[in-house]
Amino acid sequence: MTINANGPRRLLIVLAGLLAAAAAWPAGAAAQTPDPDAYTRLDANAPALAVQATLPATRSALQLEGRRLLAGSLEVYLSTSGAAALFGARRDWLEEGHRLVLRAGGRDFRLTAGSRLVTGDAGETLLRAPVFARGGDLWVPLELLTRVVGPALRQPVRWDPSRLTLGVGRERADVTGLRVEQLASATALHFACATALTYRAESPEQGRLLLKIYGATVDPEQVALDAPQGLVAAVSAEQAGNDALITVRVDPLVTRYRAYAAEDGSEIVLLLEEGQLGALPEPTPRGALTPLPADASPAAPRPITVRTVIIDAGHGGDETGRIGAGGALEKDVNLAVARELKRVLGRQDGLEVVLTRDDDSAVPLARRAEIANQASGDLFVSLHCNGWFSERATGVETYFLSPAKTDRDASVAREENWAAEGEGEDIEFILWDLVQNRFITDSSDLAETVQAALCRALGAENRGVKQAGFRVLVGAYMPAILVEMGFLSNGDEEARLVDPDHQRLLARTIGEAILEYRDRHAGAGRDDADGEGRP
Ligand SMILES: [Zn+2]
Distance from C-alpha of 291 to C-alpha of 520, rounded to nearest angstrom? 12
pLDDT at position 419, please?
A: 30
Evaluate if residue 374 carries a pLDDT over 80: yes
425, amino acid identity: E
200, amino acid identity: R
For residue 391, what pLDDT band results from cuts at 50, 70 and 90? confident
Residue range 175-291 forms a domain whose CATH class is mainly beta
What's the gap in Å between 520 CA and the centre of ligand 1?
A: 29
pLDDT digits (tens, 9 = 90+) for 326-363: 999 999 999 999 999 999 999 998 899 999 999 999 88
The helix (run of H) or strand (run of E) holding residue 342 is helix 330-346
The helix (run of H) or strand (run of E) holding residue 24 is helix 7-24
What's the gap in Å between 286 CA and the centre of ligand 1?
A: 43
What's the gap in Å between 384 CA and the centre of ligand 1?
A: 4
Distance from C-alpha of 196 to C-alpha of 421, rounded to nearest angstrom? 23
Q: Is 498 in a helix, a strand, or coil?
A: coil
- Name residue 399's beta-bridge partners: 466, 482
For residue 281, what pLDDT band results from cuts at 50, 70 and 90? very low
530 alpha carbon, distance to own chain's centre: 37
Give the lowest-confidence range in 105-119, 466-480, 514-528: 466-480
Task: Give which of 356, 364, 355, 358 is closest to 318, Cα–Cα.
Answer: 364
Q: Which of 175-179, 203-207, 320-324 has the highest mean pLDDT?
A: 175-179
pLDDT at position 298, please?
A: 35
- For the chain, the maximum distance between any two Cα atoms, rounded to a whole number of angstroms, is 121
What's the gap in Å between 217 CA and the centre of ligand 1?
A: 28
What's the gap in Å between 423 CA and the centre of ligand 1?
A: 10
Q: How far apart, in Å, are the Cα atoms of 471 and each of 386, 411, 436?
A: 20, 10, 10
Numbered ranges of CATH 2.60.40.3470 in the chain: 175-291
Residue 534 vs residue 37, higher pLDDT: 37
Sequence-separated contacts (24+) of 180-188 with Cβ below 8 Å = 180/225, 180/229, 180/230, 180/232, 182/229, 182/230, 185/273, 185/274, 186/231, 186/271, 186/272, 186/273, 186/274, 187/229, 187/230, 187/231, 187/232, 187/271, 187/272, 188/269, 188/270, 188/271, 188/272
What's the gap in Å between 427 CA and the centre of ligand 1?
A: 8
Helices (H) and strands (E) in the chain, counts: 11, 27
Residue 456 vs residue 297, higher pLDDT: 456
Give the lowest-confidence range in 31-35, 161-165, 426-430: 426-430
What's the gap in Å between 442 CA and the centre of ligand 1?
A: 23
Distance from C-alpha of 69 to C-alpha of 518, rounded to nearest angstrom? 64
What's the gap in Å between 328 CA and the centre of ligand 1?
A: 13
Evaluate if residue 39 carries a pLDDT over 80: no
**Beta carbons within 10 angstroms of residue 382's beta carbon:** 24
pLDDT digits (tens, 9 = 90+) for 459-504: 988 888 877 654 433 345 788 888 999 999 899 999 999 999 999 9
pLDDT at position 183, please?
A: 83
User: DSSP letters along 272-340, please?
Assistant: EEEPPGGG-S-SS--SPPEEPPP-S-TTS-------EEEEEE--BTTB---B-TTS-BHHHHHHHHHHH
What's the gap in Å between 351 CA and the centre of ligand 1?
A: 26
What's the gap in Å between 330 CA and the centre of ligand 1?
A: 7
What's the gap in Å between 417 CA and the centre of ligand 1?
A: 17
Assigned CATH topology for domain 48-168: Copper Amine Oxidase; Chain A, domain 1 (3.30.457)
Q: Which alpha helices (DSSP H) does 395-499 contain, by range?
A: 407-413, 425-429, 440-458, 491-497
Task: Tell me, yes or no, if the pTM score tops 0.85.
Answer: no
Evaluate if residue 154 carries a pLDDT over 70: yes
What's the gap in Å between 279 CA and the centre of ligand 1?
A: 51
The answer for residues whose C-beta is within 8 angstroms of residue 37's C-beta and 6 or more apart is: none
pLDDT at position 33, please?
A: 55
Which strands sit side by side in the sheet containing 290-291, from one edge to the other?
Answer: 175-182, 186-193, 267-274, 254-261, 290-291
For residue 442, what pLDDT band results from cuts at 50, 70 and 90? confident
For residue 266, what pLDDT band results from cuts at 50, 70 and 90? confident
What's the gap in Å between 398 CA and the centre of ligand 1?
A: 12
What's the gap in Å between 489 CA and the centre of ligand 1?
A: 12
Evaluate if residue 417 carries a pLDDT over 60: no
What's the gap in Å between 242 CA and the centre of ligand 1?
A: 22
Evaluate if residue 90 carries a pLDDT over 90: yes
Evaluate if residue 451 carries a pLDDT over 90: yes
What's the gap in Å between 332 CA and the centre of ligand 1?
A: 11
Rg (CA), the chain: 31
The CATH label, of 3.10.129.10, 3.90.1640.10, 3.40.630.40, 3.40.50.2300, for the domain at 308-525 is 3.40.630.40
384, amino acid identity: H
Contact 377, 478 (CB under 8 A): yes
Sequence-separated contacts (24+) of 88-95 with Cβ below 8 Å = none
pLDDT at position 236, please?
A: 96
Task: Give which of 150, 68, 72 is closest to 109, Cα–Cα.
Answer: 150
What's the gap in Å between 388 CA and the centre of ligand 1?
A: 12
Residue 24 vs residue 483, higher pLDDT: 483
Residue 153 vs residue 501, higher pLDDT: 501
The answer for residues whose C-beta is within 8 angstroms of residue 341's C-beta and 6 or more apart is: 311, 353, 381, 383, 506, 507, 510, 511
What's the gap in Å between 246 CA and the centre of ligand 1?
A: 32
Mean pLDDT for all residues in the chain: 78
Q: What percent of the chain has pLDDT over 70?
A: 75
Evaluate if residue 436 carries a pLDDT over 70: no
pLDDT at position 343, please?
A: 96
Contact 483, 446 (CB under 8 A): no
What's the gap in Å between 387 CA and the centre of ligand 1?
A: 9
What's the gap in Å between 457 CA and the centre of ligand 1?
A: 22
Residue 332 vs residue 397, higher pLDDT: 332
Per-chain residues with Cβ under 5 A from ion ligand 1: 314, 321, 384, 426
Evaluate if residue 20 carries a pLDDT over 50: no
Q: What average pLDDT score do residues 443-461 get?
A: 91
Q: How far apart, in Å, are the Cα atoms of 9 and each of 5, 12, 19, 35?
A: 8, 5, 15, 24
What's the gap in Å between 485 CA and the centre of ligand 1?
A: 10
What's the gap in Å between 477 CA and the centre of ligand 1?
A: 22
Residue 3 vs residue 159, higher pLDDT: 159
Evaluate if residue 286 carries a pLDDT over 80: no
Distance from C-alpha of 463 to C-alpha of 469, rounded to nearest angstrom? 18
Give the lowest-confidence range in 86-95, 149-158, 359-368, 403-412: 403-412
For residue 23, what pLDDT band results from cuts at 50, 70 and 90? very low
Q: How far apart, in Å, are the Cα atoms of 261 and each of 76, 176, 287, 305, 399?
A: 47, 15, 26, 25, 21
What's the gap in Å between 385 CA and the centre of ligand 1?
A: 5
Distance from C-alpha of 248 to C-alpha of 520, rounded to nearest angstrom? 23
pLDDT at position 402, please?
A: 60
